[in-house]
Each structure stands twice: as structure tokens, then as C-alpha cells.
A and B are shown apart, each in its own frame.
Chain A
Amino acid sequence: MGKYILKRMINLAVLFVGITAISFAVIKLAPGSPAGIYSFNAKVKTDVSKRIEKLYGLDKPLWQQYWIWFKNILKLDFGTSLTDGRKVIDEIKERIPITLGINLIVMFIIFSVSIPLGLWAGYKQGGLFDKFTTILVFAGFAVPSFWLALLLMQYFGVDLGWFPISGLVSVDFDYFTLPQKIFDVAKHLVLPVFVASFGSLAGLSRYSRSKTIEITRANYIRAALSKGLPVRIIVYRHILKGVMLPVITILGLSVPGLLGGSVVFETIFSIPGMGLLFYQAVMMRDYTLIMGLLVISAVLTLIGNMLADLAYAWADPRIRYRRN
């Protein structure tokens, strides 16, 4: 096992350097230049962009820039944003809790809804419930989230007035009591969380449905049935176990997604998360911020992959032995 982990680690380090080098090159080669300060304004002098270039060493050759940047990264120094002069790490730090928090809720909902959904649909394959959920999850998958979001905002926000349109808290949040605050946040989260979860039900529920169908045909389930075990116990004890095992992989793979945040979703609901930060950084050609965000998501993806592999190896001895 130790050797296996070591091998994986070396692999990861090489991958990491490769990822950063390629993304650095791609971003620098993309046309355009840091636009934060360069608004197209006749009163604004354009030599400012030259000053910025000098200040941040953007006039040096590409490989030198990369080397300087890479050395700093090893010291965990992500540099300062080209647009507002703040530390990249600080900008990321204030956004992470928002995206992470929402995504955890969303993921919790996806798992707790789509696995039972898939289980029942699979167990009662071809039944009314199966057909209904199939239509539902595929509709969720197919509907563009921004469109659904706007419809819901119009209906529940404007017409019925039940939920706030956007943002995470009310304008008067500071002056609320604690229960009011909790209620306020919850009210703001209903629409975004619903929209984000609804679109992602399909994948997992389809997966657990097909896995259920596969397991239901297995001999041990037939044995359990003929033993006279209640269906409830068969489904939740025996089938669920089989379905859950590969879920570990899915969990591992969703680690980077937890921090990624979607641009469309965050824009529509005015949620100042990581997705929006990344989008704005790209539009501004804020190189240091882009690279900071990329490194973090690359590291997380790699860690997520590794965790998934390790967990799998731990849970399923066949993999461990084959690799060794």
C-alpha cells in the first residue's frame, strides 16, 4: 500500500507541473492584456498598462515569468491580483466558504434524493414511478439552468413574493436577530439550491437505477427474496450497499466541483462565489488571479482523484492486489 501511495504521489507531482505549465502558457498566449486598469476612456492615459507590465514583470520572457511564478507557488505565495492589488489568496479565501457551503448543501440534496429515486425506479423497473422519475430527471438535465432560474424567480419571487430574487442575505441582515438571520439565509437559498440540484439529479439517479437493476438480477437477491425477506430490507440493506460502493469514486471526483462553482448559476443569483471570481479574472486578464484559481482547482482535482483511488483500493481489495 505504501509503495502504491508513493507511486501515486510522484505521478501527481509530475501532473501538477504539467498542468500549471500548460495553463500558464495558454493564458499568456491568449490575446488581450490585463484590462483592469485599462478602461477605454479618452481621459485615461494608456501608458498605465505599460507601467503595470513593468511592475508585475509582464515584460519578461514567458519562461522567466513562469519560473518566477512557480518558485513563489512553492512558497505558497500566489502573488497579488493585477486588478485590485490584493493578495490572490485573500480573494480566494473570502469566496471559498460561499461556494463550498452551497455546493455541500446541493450535493447533500443530490445524494439524498437521487439515490433513493434511482433505487426505487430500478427496483420497480418499467413501472409508473420509474417512468415518472425518468421524465423528471431528464427534464432537469435538459432544461438550461439560467432559464429555469429566471422562471422560478419570476414566479416565486415576483408573482408570489415567497422568496427573494437574488443574493445570499437581505440588505438589513446586520440588524436581524439570530433566528431571523437563519430564516433569512434559508429563504435566500431555496431557489439557487433547487436550481443547482434539479439539473444534477439525472446522473446519479440514472446510475443508481441501472446498478439496482443489475444487482436485482443477482442470485443473492433472488435468494433473499425467496427467503421471504421484506422488500424494504432487501432494497435498503442489500441493494443499497452494492449501489453505494462506486459512489465513493463519484464523491472523490466531485471534490474539485465543490469549489468550482458555476458561472451561469452564480451570475443569475448574484452569488459572489468562485465561479464568478474566475470568470471576472479571465475577462480582466488578471493573470495572477487566474493562475491562483487554476492551481487550487488542479490540486483539488488531483487530491480528489487520489482520495477516490485510495478509498476504492481500501474498500475493494481486488484493486489493491491487482496494482501491487
Chain B
Amino acid sequence: MLNPQKNRLILLLSKKHSAFFFFLGVVLFLPLAGSAQSRWPQRGGAIVLSSIGSPRTLIPLLATDSASSIICSFIYNGLLKYDKNLNLTGDLARSWEVLDNGRKIIFHLKKGIKWHDGVEFTAEDVRFTYQKLIDPKVITPYSSDFQRIKRLAVRGKYTVEVIYKEPFSPALSSWTMPIIPEHILKNEDLNTTSYARHPIGTGPYKFHKWSVCRGIVELTAFKDYFEGKPFVSRIVFRVIPDTATLFLEVLTQGVDNASLTPLQYLKHANTPLFRKHYRKFTYPSHGFLYMGYNLNNFFFRDKRVRQALNYAVDKNEIIKAVYLGQAEVSTGPFTRDSWAYDFNSRPAEFSPLRAKELLKQAGIYDSDSDGILDKNGRPFKFTIFTNQGNMERKMAAEIIQKRLADIGIKVSIRVVEWTVFIDRIIKKKKFDAVLLGWSLSQDPDVYSLFHSSQTSEGEFNFIGYKNPEVDELLVQARREFDKERRKELYYKVRRLIYDDQPYMFICSPYSLSCIHKRFIGVCPKKGGYWYNFIKWWVPKQKQIHITAGF
């Protein structure tokens, strides 16, 4: 499917400053003249991307929907970013220092970076962004990481000093937050400003047009981008709300990149026509599917019961039936692409016998021979709640239902509309079990999911998980800046959590996607393939869209 060698070559060639390769290229390809021309990166063309929903705002501090966030990622930069191997590296910052046991972080900014309107980016913009993030009047959901900052000081034009109330290692990842321009927004109300629809950033692409009636947002390459002008001249985002339509658009080359469902990936996208135009990709996502138990429930209070359920459900069956094999069994909250993932972890085997044994130890067995297990006269029945609009979760719930029925547990399933699900079921903790998925950020801090302080209404430990040892480790990991030591802590956290089974960890589905073959330079790594987008290019004769801005 992939041809890494070829890609590496092209990637190297695309570094236009490399004199050696230039020379090599001239020697090798000169005799071929015509055909050789397309081997060199050429500018122009467009990439068409799509999203299900229409973007809401292009102010990254306020954007929560994926359409807005993706568009913002082309327009803005953070101080730091994740590189192709998911390691933190400088973006607007040239370097950074962690001092005073992690209480102080100093960022040294790159010099000469320009906003799209030509004004220079400075430390004042960082301060401005920070002030907006902690401003109670700004409706930003991203404030919590920044409220841990005691003081943020600007030391000269290119240095920012951030002092935290206490060491907080996820802080570094929080500085991937895009920086917004002070000189434009200083007198604006972020919640209502019209800037949200014609933003200015420092990123490789600048905003060109947002046309609601045509359902598109268009960006064009920024010629003064500090890492070099991108080769592809336009990015067009189309809003395509229906997934069936989206796939038909892909078939007619109306969209260049799309994520695929397992069925599409294996079947519909396996035709000669599809393979002629598209490359398909599969890589681990940082999301996982789980069944969370309400730990105040009469049955689920007992750890042995939760362990028993883990034995009773065959995760591979779910992977096979629901994801057509395009997922892997998960053994904790960290997924394979995370540095906190323990490659030695093994999932519990599928064993209904062991499940029954454990349940018996917990005093749960069929005392009245009615086919349903019970304890103290209470039959073991419960309801799995899941949200509407997610077929996979519903199917997984049905398989769990069947497997638990096999060992004598009666499960019913309720599918609830999303906002109601959050408002009535999750927030009010009115559930026995929920089937949900988490998609976590690159930093493995799972404090908000499993720390016992995070259980009040609207917080994310809604299952009521409480383990003092895990609490302690999570706090320690948050204070630890050394990656290796932090990794050890998360290994321990995972082991404890997997043993406690507050969630039944089911699986982590793969990210499946496709991209049009005319783009050269696509080279998937751990962190996906977008990391080097500005180096992608399209040979002139294959540019199917009009080039603009060149």
C-alpha cells in the first residue's frame, strides 16, 4: 500500500536547499528532460478537504468543533507543536527551558515571523492570547490549563517567561494553543467579533474567503511563511454533511481527502478506479471505545464483578463484527501511538468460565434457577446507555448484551440523543453502564478521567472511580517533566486501572483515510501525514484545480 522508499526520496528532493541532491538530480534526470521535470516540486493547484459540519468560528480559542479546529490549524501556529513522531518541538518558539523544577518555563521565540498582514509576531501576542484565555468574559473552553499560571511575563520582544503555581508537565502541550494577533484583536470582543470570519494568523495559509451559501472556506498559500511558502496554492474546505455523499464525492475526485469507515476501506474503496486515484492509509488513532460502570451501582461496586464482565466479553468478536478487524483490543486509556503506551500490556482473555467463577466468589449466582444470576435476591440486570448516531457503539452494545446473556446477566440497551445523554444521563449519573469513546490529546495526562477529585457534576470521572494509589500516581505524573520517569508512572497507572476495571476497555479503532494520489510528498508517520503538508506538491499536468495567488 505504501512505498516508503519512494516517499523518502521525494521528501529529500523536496528540500530545495540541498545542493547535493540538486546536483544528483541534474545528473540523473537531465537526459530524461521532459519526464524529469515533474520530479521537481512544482507550485500551484489546490487541495479540497471536507467536513460534516460547517465551521463555527475561526478564533482557535473558541473553536470546539472539528471543522473549525482543522481550518485553524492551517492559519495559526502555537508556540510548540507535535512533530511527525508526536514529540513536542518548537513552532513559533525557537526553544524553551524548563526551570525551577518545572515551575518556570521560558520560551525563546523565533525572530522575524510575520502575521498575514505583514506585522511582526512578538511576545506581546503570546501575552495577549494568554490574557484572553483566562478572561472570564471570553467563552473559551480551554482556560483550565492556563489558570494554573501564576504569572506570565514578557522579557523583551522575543522571550516569554511563564511561572506556574506548581509544576505541571502537561503545560508544555497546552502551549500548542494557537496564538492570536494582539494588534488586530486588542479592542475587540472575542465572543462577537467579525474577525471570527476573516482571521489573520502566522500559519502557512492565509484566509481567503468564507462563503456560507456555497458551503466553502478557502485559504491561499502565505508567501512569507517562516518555514517557506507552501507548494499547494489553495486549500478549499467543503461542508458535506452526509457521509454517503462524501464517499460519492471521493469517487468522482470532488474531495481529495476523507476518512473512511471500515466497510468503505475494505470494500467500496477497494475498486480499481479508487486505487487508481487514491492512496489509503491506516494508522492507530488515539481514541478508544469503553464501557464505563457506575461504581455506585449495587453490582458494579465489587471489583470482581467488573473483572468478570471483562472476561465474559470477547473484544475480538466486537472488533471483527463492528470494525471488520480495523481496530485493536485496548488494555487501558493509552493507545499505541502514545509514548505512555505499554507495549508489554496484554488484554485479559475471553473466558466465560472464569467470569462465572469470579461472579460466584462475589456472591452472584443463579440461586432461584430462573436463568438470571442474582445476589441477595436481586437479579443481575442492568442497562447500557449509549448515544444516538453512532452505529458502532450500538452494535458493540448488542454484542456485549449477547455475551452477558450467555452467562446469565440481563442487559438492556438504551440509545439516547447526544445533548440529552450528556445532560440527563452523564451529568446526573443516572446510568448503570455507558458505552462511549474517548479521544485523548497527545499528552497522556488522564487526571480528569480517573482522579477521585473529578467526580462532581459535569466533571469527567462521572463513573465515580476512586483509588488512592492511582490518585497519587496521577498527581506525581503531572509534576514530572522527565519523560522516562513520567512514562513509568503511567505504566503503573494503567496496570492499576486495568486491574480495577472501572471501564471495560474494548478497543481502539484504526484511523482509516484516503488521499488523492496527485499529491507528492505524503509520508505517513506516527503522527499522521499532515505534518509536512507545506512540502506536498502536485505536478503541473495533474493540477486539476485553478491555481491562485501565484
Contacts and interface: CB of A to CB of B under 8 A. Distances in A.
B145 to A, nearest CB: 7
Given A41-B141, A85-B192, A158-B251, A46 B214 contact: no
Interface string B408-452: 000000000111101110000000000000101100001011000
Interface in A143-160: 150, 153-154, 157-158
Contacts of B417: 32
B546 A280 contact: no
Contact of B141 (A44, A80, A168, A175): A44
A112 to B, nearest CB: 26
Contacts of B141: 37-39, 41, 44-45, 48
B288 to A, nearest CB: 12
Interface string B119-150: 00000000000000000100111111100000
B270 interface: no
Contact of A157 (B236, B248, B418): B248
B238 A270 contact: yes
Interface in B31-72: 46, 48, 53-54, 56-57, 62, 64-65
Contacts of A32: 417-420, 422-424
A32 B142 CA distance: 22
A268 interface: yes
Given A32-B417, A84-B196, A272 B239 contact: yes
A154 B248 contact: yes
Given A42-B449, A165-B249, A270 B242 contact: yes
Interface stretch (A91-99, A194-202, A244-252): A91-99
A257 interface: no
B-side binding surface: helix, strand, loop or mixed? loop
B420 A164 contact: no
A135 B65 CA distance: 46
B245 A175 contact: no
Chain B CB within 10 Å, residue with most, of A48, A51, A153: A48
Contact of A161 (B252, B419, B446): B252
Given A52-B139, A168-B215, 14 more contacts: A32-B423, A32-B424, A39-B65, A40-B422, A42-B440, A44-B142, A48-B141, A94-B213, A150-B245, A164-B254, A167-B214, A167-B215, A169-B214, A172-B545
Interface of A: 31-33, 35-49, 51-52, 55, 80, 83-86, 94-95, 97-98, 150, 153-154, 157-158, 161, 164-169, 171-175, 266-272, 276, 280, 283-285
Q: Which 6 A-B pairs have the closest CB atoms?
A: A32-B419, A46-B458, A44-B141, A84-B56, A31-B420, A39-B64
Interface of B: 46, 48, 53-54, 56-57, 62, 64-65, 136, 139-145, 191-192, 196-197, 209, 212-216, 236, 238-242, 244-245, 248-249, 251-252, 254, 417-420, 422-424, 438, 440-441, 446, 448-449, 458-460, 545-546, 548
19 contacts: A32-B420, A33-B419, A35-B422, A37-B62, A37-B64, A38-B141, A41-B64, A43-B142, A44-B142, A55-B139, A83-B56, A84-B57, A95-B212, A97-B213, A158-B251, A171-B254, A174-B548, A276-B241, A280-B53
